[in-house]
Structures are given as structure tokens and as C-alpha cells.
Chain A
Amino acid sequence: MEATRRRAFATPADTVISVIVFGLLFYILWLVIDWAFVRAVWSADAVDQCKVDSIGACWSVIDARHRLILFGLYPFEEHWRSTAACASIIATVVLSCMPAFWSSRRLITLWIVGFAAYYLLMEGSLIGLPQVTTDQWGGLSLTLFLFSSVVLLGMPMGLGLALMRRSNMPVVRLTATLIIDFVRSLPLLTTLFTAAVILPILLPEWLQGDKIWRVILAFALFFACYQAEVFRGGFQAIPKGQWEAGKALGLGQWTTLFDIILPQVFRHALPATINMVVLTFKETAIVIIIGFFEMLASAGAAFGTGEWVPYYLEVYVFVGLIYWVFIFSLGQYGEYLKNRMKVDHR
């Protein structure tokens, strides 16, 4: 309390500013609460009340259309599978934030298991459920699918590029540098658009694959090129002496790399890596432009027809909230780790 007083009301000028600013903040907060809760309509059946002028948010649209936003075009009867699949990805992300899982083997297993659970549930045919092809996946579940597969594929690719860039063979180094700089100079949208639309012209037919996998691979490449730079920073933080120590112990090059150097690289690169992961989650929304039915696209569809057209604001707020909670909490977690590591160093 004392600290607050000192920070907000130290001088008369501070006091004036504080009163005005806090007053404004509370006023805005009140407007939001009033709109979103006090004067809101909640149920889909009560949609007629929304037409009254004095009414606030019309959450009826969410009540009626939330399944479309969350699951897109996924068959209606199978939505429990989508729910379970989303839960498995979210659990994977949450668990990998826990120090108990911070060993290479556990993390790898966790992600592969989480991703496999997602895929098996969504696709279905391998575990005896009715098959649902990827073109019917949508909404939040597609967003999570894109996100997790990009991170899962991009992480080893990024490490590969980072190692290539540190190679003492000029051709290897140059190739990696060229790829990294090229991809980083292009807007993500251009890369994805190329993968979706242009690549099939350049590739023989047996190599083209499904559009969604081409886009995921391109997205993973984009992730990898940024992540490679993150790893590079991690490598630079490791003193040269570590290599020599490994050698002195009679360890081979690869053993030194994987058992001594890389764990430290990962530790140094962790906050920046979390930043990249957060960024990737945010950027998945961009695939709406190349025609995927992810969460933002299904949000558009949710208020796209009939009686729901006027309630675009409610839908955007709902979707925004989902994104925000996920991104904010991951971001805060990254901050926390960064601070913790700073303390470790002292």
C-alpha cells in the first residue's frame, strides 16, 4: 500500500496524473463490463432481444455458432473428437512448460505423443473411427494443428540449419546462410502462398502432396530460419573451452555436441525460443488468406449468414479472447523464465 502511494502520488503533479489516468481506465473498464455483462444477451433463443437499442453484447451468436468457430467444417456428430484432440495439444503445451519435463527424451516423447493423439483422433480411420479428411478440419482445432506441426517440424529443421551455419565447410555454411537470409527477407505470406500455389508447378506430381502439408512445411521452414538464428545466439554463449574439455575427456565430436554443448544451448535459447513459439501461434492466423478454414476464417463464417450479420463485434471479441489468453500466458511464462535465468546467472 505504502509502495503504491509512493509510486502513484509522490508529487502533486503525479497525483493529478494518477487521478485522471485511473479515472479514465476505470471508466473504460466500466463501459466494457456494462457492454459485455450487465446489458448483454446470453442465449441463442433470446436473439430477438438483441435488436433492442439499449442492449449490450449479443452473446447469442456465440451460443449458436461456437461449434463452427471451434471446429469449422468437422462433422457435427464427431465434435467430441475435435474437443479431445484440442485438449491433447493444449495439455502438451502446458506440460512442456513444467520443469519436470525438461529433459530431451521426455520433451520429445511428450510432443510426439501429444501430436499423434491429436492426429489419430482427428483423422480417425487408424483407430477405427469414421475417417475425417484434413479438408474438413477447421476452427481452433486447425489452428492448433498448424501450430503444433510447425513447431514440431521446425525445431529440428532450425537446429539443422544452425549447425550447418556453424560448419567449417564453406559450401555447407553458405547454403544455410543463403536459405536463412532468403526466407527471413520474405513476408511469411509470400512463402506460404508460394508453397500453396506455385510449388506444384515446380515439382513433379509424386512430390506435390496435399496443399495443407505443403503449407505446413513452408511454415516450418520459416520457423526454422528464425529459430536457427535463436540457436546461433545460444551457441555463441558457450565458451570454446567446453569443446576442448570434451575432447580432453576423450569424448567424440558428436557426443560432445549432444551431451555437453546442446543442452546448454537450449537453456540459453529458451526465452527466445518461447518468443518464437508465441509468434508462430499468432502468425497461424495468416493462413486464412490462402484459403484455410482456421479459427479466424470460421469466425468470419460465424457471423457471415442470416440473422448473425450485425454481431461481428461479439465474434471478434470471443476469438480475440481465445488468442489473447493463449498468447499472453505463454508470453508471461517466457518473461518469468528469462527473469529466473537472470537470477541463476548472478
Chain B
Amino acid sequence: MRPRAVTGAGPKLSNSRFGEPMVAATARSRKTAQMRRLLIQAVIIIALVAIVWSTYTTAQTNLNALGITGGYAFLERATGWSYSFSLIPRSVDDTYLRTLTIGFINTLFLGTLCIVLSTIIGFAVGSIRDTSNLALQTIASVYVQLFRNLPLILQLVFWYAVFIHLPGPRQAYALGEIVLFSNRGLMLPALNISGQTALILLLGSIALGVIVLFARITAMRALFVWASATVLAIAVSLLMFVPEGEPIASVPTLKGLRFQGGMQMTIELVAMIVAIVLYSSAYIAEVVRGGLAEVPRGLIEAGQALGLSGRTIWSRIKLPMALRSIIPPLGNQWIFVMKATTIGVAIGFSDLFMIVSTSLTQTGQTLELIAILMGAFLLINFALAQFVNVINRRMQLKSH
């Protein structure tokens, strides 16, 4: 861990200069140094090319020996298997392309939902930890220390084990006969539109949100534009897509072996959300607390001297100041949440990783499928990082 022993660990970096300014030296020694630098870089490039080439040929021979034909033709074939959760209609006759797309949508859907929920809860818990009331502080600390210090996957299998031992659908816990919770999942009343329409609405709303964020208008106006447009879009789609003579909203009811109507969140999805949100919100709470603690006391005292109310000080001074140091680590946590969805495979939630892993056994197209998986995550993370950058920039702009 300390300097000496690591000398042996990095032979390939001999003579890099770690970015400190070059010493004034004789022209000759500078020239030798220059040559050496070129040589090292050339060797690295050659080594990289050699590695890529040799893995490529090894893969070719290995796959040929196994009689596997590569390529993406399998994407057009029907899968013949099913899985637990999808937002859009699915059947066993779907192609691999459609099935993988569904996995991608599931990952995005779960990730987005968890990001929103854990950010809200995280801000709440973090702010509570920052209050002066000892009791509130204690309960918030217990929350953070409990959920942050256990492996996420342990929490996931724990909640899943608890949830599947809930009563069955016929004895479901009911809240006013419209919200039902059983070992099959959480059943909520919902607008009477198809999952596909709902998904398009959701995506449209997210896209609009991003556009509004980029636009050079104040945050309040942006929020107003976004909220009103979203409500309008929902109203229009209700008018257009609700079948004749059916109510606008539907309520889950038990029919035979399962519930019909309403929105049904399978118990796997519920367990994923609960586990990820608890874990991640505890992290975010720490980030928020750290951010709030860094706001200089003088600023708050200045606010008090001006006779501002506690709420105004919080929303106009503390939070905006704190947000600037909160946003970068918060962005990292969002990316973590997206990546954390992959553990769905442990409880049978059909996220992208699980779909890829099953496809892999059923088709044997190992390299192609893992490339798709990696590509998808690079895409998600890149997009999310850009999004965080935009928010960050807006925060910085406002302060100037």
C-alpha cells in the first residue's frame, strides 16, 4: 500500500514523468528522452494491437472448434421462452431482438423509478439529519447506518424472501379495496390505457423534461411548462385511447388465479425497488447531509440577521448553496443505481442482464450478447453523465 512495494507493480510506466514540468537539460539528453518516450509509446501501441489481434484469432479458433457461427442473425429468431416482467405486450414467439429490447426497457424503467424515489427519500432523510431535533436526527441516522452498511444483494434477497411469504392473492392486504398487496405483487388503480401508451407518455415526458432543462428559462417556468404539457398529454391520450364505454381508471380485481385491471407491479419489481431505494437513498442522504454541512455558517447567520424565516433560509440559501457540492456525487449515485439493476437476476426480475444471460444459454451467441450488454450500459451511463453535466452547469450558471 505504500510506495516501495509498488515499484515492481508498474514496469510499463517506467519513465513517464507524471505530469511535472520537464527539467531544463542539455539538448542531447532531451533528445534521448524524446526518443525513449516515442519508443515506449510505440511498444504500447504494438502490444495493444497484438492483444486485440490474438484475442480475435483465439476467439475465432475456439468458436470454430465448437462449431458456433457468429453474427447477429439470431436476433431475428423466436426465443420460445418467457419471463416475469414487461411493460409492453410479449409472447414466447417474440424475436430475440424484441426480447432484448424489453430487457433494456425494464432496466431503464426500474433504474429511472429508483433514481427518482431514492433521490426524493435521500433528500428528505439527509435534511432530517441536518435538523436540530435530536429525535429526528437519531431516527435518520439509524436509517442511514442500517441500510448503507449491508450489501445490496443481501437486502434484495431478504426483502424478496419476506415478500413472497406474504399472503396469496385471495387474502391480499387491501387499502380501501383499490390498492392490494400480496405475494404476487402490488396492485394499484391505474388509468385505463395500455402499457405501451403509458410507456410512450413516460418517455415523452422524460424527453420534454430534458429539453426544458437545456432551454434557457428559469427553473420555475421550466417546471411549469413540463408539468402542464405532461398533464395535457395524459388527458389527450385518455380521450383517444380509453375504449368506448369503459371507465377512465381501472381498479384491480381478483379473477381466477390472478388480478385483472389496474396497474400490476410484480413482486420481483417491488422487491427490486424496495432494496435499491433503501440502499441508495441512505447513500444520497449522506451526500445531502455532507452538502448541507458545508454551507458556511456565516451565510445562514446573514439570512437570520436579515430577518428571513427558517424556511426561506433553507430554500433560498442553504439548499441552493449545498446543491452545488451535492450534484456531482449524486450523479455518481444515479449511475450506480442504473448499474445496480443487474442484480435482478438473483430473484428472477427480467432486467437486461437476466435476459442476456438466459439468451446466452439458449443460443450460445456468447460474444455477440455480451457486446450488446456492454454497449447498452455504456450508452445508459454516457447519457446519464451528460444529463448530470447539464444540471451541474445550470447550477453553476445561476450562482454567477
- Evaluate contact between A175 and B48: CB separation under 8 angstroms: yes
Q: Could you say which of A108, A201, A296 contacts B63, with CB atoms under 8 Å apart?
A: A201
Does B1 count as interface, using CB distance less than 8 angstroms?
yes
Does A133 count as interface, using CB distance less than 8 angstroms?
no
Q: Could you say which of B1, B154, B381 contacts A285, with CB atoms under 8 Å apart?
A: B154
- Assuming A156-B9, A243-B20, A319-B154, is B377 touching A187 (CB within 8 A)? yes
Q: What are the residues of chain A within 8 A of B150 when measuring CB–CB?
A: 282, 320, 323-324, 327
- Evaluate contact between A296 and B357: CB separation under 8 angstroms: no
Beta-carbon nearest neighbor of B384 in chain A: A185
Query: Please, how many angstroms separate the alpha-carbon atoms of A203 and B342 in the complex?
Result: 26
B52 to chain A, nearest CB (A): 10
Does B81 count as interface, using CB distance less than 8 angstroms?
no
- Assuming A167-B17, A172-B40, A240-B20, is B55 touching A203 (CB within 8 A)? yes
Query: Binary interface profile of B, 1-41, with partner A (CB < 8 Å = 1, else 0)?
Result: 11111110110110011111101000000000000010011
- The interface stretch among B88-96, B132-140, B218-226, B248-256 is B132-140
- Evaluate contact between A320 and B154: CB separation under 8 angstroms: yes
Query: Binary interface profile of B, 172-208, with partner A (CB < 8 Å = 1, else 0)?
Result: 0000000000000000000000000000000000000
Does A188 count as interface, using CB distance less than 8 angstroms?
yes
Query: Please, how many angstroms separate the alpha-carbon atoms of A87 and B168 in the complex?
Result: 45
Does A225 count as interface, using CB distance less than 8 angstroms?
no
Query: Binary interface profile of B, 150-167, with partner A (CB < 8 Å = 1, else 0)?
Result: 111110011001100000
A317 to chain B, nearest CB (A): 9
Q: Could you say which of A21, A182, A186, A313 contacts B135, with CB atoms under 8 Å apart?
A: A21
Q: Could you say which of A20, A167, A285, A323 contacts B16, with CB atoms under 8 Å apart?
A: A167
A236 to chain B, nearest CB (A): 10
Query: Please, how many angstroms separate the alpha-carbon atoms of A257 and B15 in the complex?
Result: 12
Kindly identify, within residues 248 to 265 of chain A, every residue whose CB is under 8 Å from any CB belonging to chain B: 253-254, 257-259, 261-263
Query: Please, how many angstroms separate the alpha-carbon atoms of A331 and B286 in the complex?
Result: 12
- Looking at A197, A283, A324, which has the most chain B CB atoms within 10 Å of its CB? A324
- Assuming A171-B45, A263-B2, is B339 touching A186 (CB within 8 A)? yes
A43 to chain B, nearest CB (A): 24
Beta-carbon nearest neighbor of A173 in chain B: B16
Query: Binary interface profile of A, 311-327, with partner B (CB < 8 Å = 1, else 0)?
Result: 01100100110011001
Q: What are the residues of chain B within 8 A of A243 when measuring CB–CB?
A: 20-21
Does B353 count as interface, using CB distance less than 8 angstroms?
yes
Kindly identify, within residues 121 to 154 of chain B, every residue whose CB is under 8 Å from any CB belonging to chain A: 132-139, 142, 145-146, 148-154
Beta-carbon nearest neighbor of B57 in chain A: A204
- Evaluate contact between A259 and B3: CB separation under 8 angstroms: yes
Q: What are the residues of chain A within 8 A of B13 when measuring CB–CB?
A: 160, 163-164, 167, 172
Does B59 count as interface, using CB distance less than 8 angstroms?
yes
Kindly identify, within residues 317 to 354 of chain B, every residue whose CB is under 8 Å from any CB belonging to chain A: 339-340, 342-343, 345-346, 353
Does A100 count as interface, using CB distance less than 8 angstroms?
no
Q: Could you say which of B3, B10, B37, B345 contacts A289, with CB atoms under 8 Å apart?
A: B345
Query: Please, how many angstroms separate the alpha-carbon atoms of A262 and B3 in the complex?
Result: 6
- Evaluate contact between A17 and B136: CB separation under 8 angstroms: yes
Q: What are the residues of chain B within 8 A of A17 when measuring CB–CB?
A: 133, 135-136
Does A75 count as interface, using CB distance less than 8 angstroms?
no
Q: What are the residues of chain B within 8 A of A194 when measuring CB–CB?
A: 370
Beta-carbon nearest neighbor of A281 in chain B: B151
- Assuming A104-B3, A156-B6, is B133 touching A288 (CB within 8 A)? no
- Evaluate contact between B342 and A172: CB separation under 8 angstroms: no
Query: Please, how many angstroms separate the alpha-carbon atoms of A203 and B9 in the complex?
Result: 23
Does B396 count as interface, using CB distance less than 8 angstroms?
no
- Evaluate contact between A263 and B3: CB separation under 8 angstroms: yes
Q: What are the residues of chain A within 8 A of B304 when measuring CB–CB?
A: none
- Evaluate contact between B16 and A190: CB separation under 8 angstroms: no
- Assuming A107-B1, A189-B353, A263-B2, is B40 touching A156 (CB within 8 A)? no
- Evaluate contact between B142 and A111: CB separation under 8 angstroms: no
- Evaluate contact between B45 and A163: CB separation under 8 angstroms: no
- Evaluate contact between B62 and A172: CB separation under 8 angstroms: no
A22 to chain B, nearest CB (A): 5
Kindly identify, within residues 140 to 182 of chain A, every residue whose CB is under 8 Å from any CB belonging to chain B: 155-157, 159-160, 163-164, 166-172, 175, 182
- Assuming A197-B366, A316-B158, is B151 touching A169 (CB within 8 A)? no
Does B378 count as interface, using CB distance less than 8 angstroms?
yes
- Evaluate contact between B44 and A175: CB separation under 8 angstroms: yes
B125 to chain A, nearest CB (A): 13
Query: Binary interface profile of B, 361-385, with partner A (CB < 8 Å = 1, else 0)?
Result: 0000011001001100110011000
Does A25 count as interface, using CB distance less than 8 angstroms?
yes
Beta-carbon nearest neighbor of A261 in chain B: B18
Q: What are the residues of chain A within 8 A of B136 when measuring CB–CB?
A: 17, 21
Q: What are the residues of chain A within 8 A of B6 when measuring CB–CB?
A: 155-156, 159-160
Beta-carbon nearest neighbor of B341 in chain A: A187
Q: Could you say which of A164, A170, A201, A282 contacts B366, with CB atoms under 8 Å apart?
A: A201
- Evaluate contact between A8 and B134: CB separation under 8 angstroms: yes
Interfacial residues, chain A to chain B (CB-CB below 8 A): 4, 7-8, 10, 14, 17-22, 24-25, 96, 103-105, 107-108, 111, 155-157, 159-160, 163-164, 166-172, 175, 182, 185-190, 193-194, 197-198, 201-204, 235, 240, 243-244, 247, 253-254, 257-259, 261-263, 266, 282-286, 288-289, 296, 300, 312-313, 316, 319-320, 323-324, 327-328, 331
- Can you name 9 A-B pairs with beta carbons within 8 Å? A7-B134, A19-B135, A96-B1, A104-B1, A111-B1, A156-B6, A156-B9, A193-B353, A282-B149
Pairs of residues from A and B, 9 with the lowest C-beta to C-beta distance, nearest first: A104-B2, A167-B16, A156-B9, A160-B10, A187-B339, A285-B151, A21-B135, A171-B41, A18-B135
Interfacial residues, chain B to chain A (CB-CB below 8 A): 1-7, 9-10, 12-13, 16-21, 23, 37, 40-41, 44-45, 48, 54-55, 58-59, 62-63, 132-139, 142, 145-146, 148-154, 157-158, 161-162, 339-340, 342-343, 345-346, 353, 357, 360, 366-367, 370, 373-374, 377-378, 381-382
Told that A289-B343, A313-B162 touch, could you supply 6 new A-B pairs with CB distance under 8 A?
A10-B132, A20-B135, A105-B2, A190-B353, A285-B154, A323-B154
